[in-house]
């Protein structure tokens, strides 16, 4: 069996454990819409470009998107996501092996991780108010969730989360310095500096939407 065929076989077998999800691209993507019809939950499998007969690997990713946020031009609608290893606090960007005897173990392990850890994450997004409260009180702070908190939770809670991000992030001083730099710039120039460094877009968003830094 060719590497791609083996991947597709495994992905469809994994997908069979989650019948609520729509199967796309021969199992490479699983997709489900939230009860309120705004959020989309996705599981996506990335095959290793170097796969060959004796080594067939892939990495699972998850994503949550919001139609409302995309329409409002906020973070292109992206709410939360990443590859499973990092999200679960395990080995970052771990490749799972399908070749040989590894196939059965990998399919069972990935199915279990999705069932036990990823589905509860998706379920949390079904109750927006409780989820935002948990985000505000949880650790660690996640940059992308600021847009979600702002759109669904309002300015006050977003400001609280913004300051939580600053408090926990090792680049706090850099972010504050950039925020203060924006104060001195004409608004028409601010949109041109969002890619100055990783995190600049977040600070730009906070400043333009009136999220203040706590003294």
Arithmetic mean of pLDDT over the chain? 94
The better pLDDT of the pair 36, 195 is held by 36
d(CA 127, CA 187): 36
The predicted model gives 56-82 an average pLDDT of 97
Q: pTM, whole model, 2 decimals?
A: 0.92
Residue 194 has what pLDDT?
Answer: 65
d(CA 107, CA 97): 9
* CA-based nearest residue to 62, from 98, 88, 37: 88
Sorting pLDDT into bands at 50, 70 and 90, what band is 190? confident
d(CA 31, CA 204): 31
Residue 193 has what pLDDT?
Answer: 72
Tens digit of each residue's pLDDT (9 = 90 or more) over 95-125: 999 999 999 999 999 999 999 999 999 999 9
d(CA 70, CA 76): 5
Burial of 70 (0-12, 13-18, 19+ CB in 10 A): middle
Give Cα separations from 7 to 39, 47, 60, 129, 148 (angstroms): 28, 7, 12, 38, 33
Tens digit of each residue's pLDDT (9 = 90 or more) over 127-173: 999 999 999 998 888 999 999 999 999 999 999 999 999 999 999 99
């Amino acid at each position: 069996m060719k590497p791609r065929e083996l991947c597709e076989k495994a992905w469809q077998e994994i997908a069979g454990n989650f019948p609520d999800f729509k199967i796309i691209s021969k199992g490479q993507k699983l997709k489900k819409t939230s009860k309120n019809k705004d959020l989309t939950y996705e599981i996506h499998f990335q095959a290793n470009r170097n796969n060959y007969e004796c080594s067939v690997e892939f990495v699972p990713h998850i994503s949550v998107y919001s139609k409302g946020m995309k329409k409002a031009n906020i973070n292109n609608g992206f709410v939360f996501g990443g590859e499973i290893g990092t999200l679960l606090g395990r080995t970052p960007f771990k490749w799972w092996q399908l070749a040989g005897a590894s196939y059965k173990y990998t399919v069972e392990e990935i199915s279990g991780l999705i069932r036990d850890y990823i589905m509860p994450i998706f379920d949390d997004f079904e109750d927006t108010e409780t989820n935002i409260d948990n985000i505000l009180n949880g650790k660690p702070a996640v940059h992308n969730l600021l847009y979600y908190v702002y759109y669904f939770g309002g300015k006050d809670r977003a400001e609280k989360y913004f300051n939580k991000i600053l408090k926990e992030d090792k680049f706090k001083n850099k972010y504050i310095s950039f925020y203060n730099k924006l104060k001195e710039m004409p608004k028409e120039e601010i949109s041109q500096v969002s890619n100055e460094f990783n995190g600049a877009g977040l600070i730009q968003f906070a400043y333009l939407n009136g999220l203040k830094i706590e003294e």
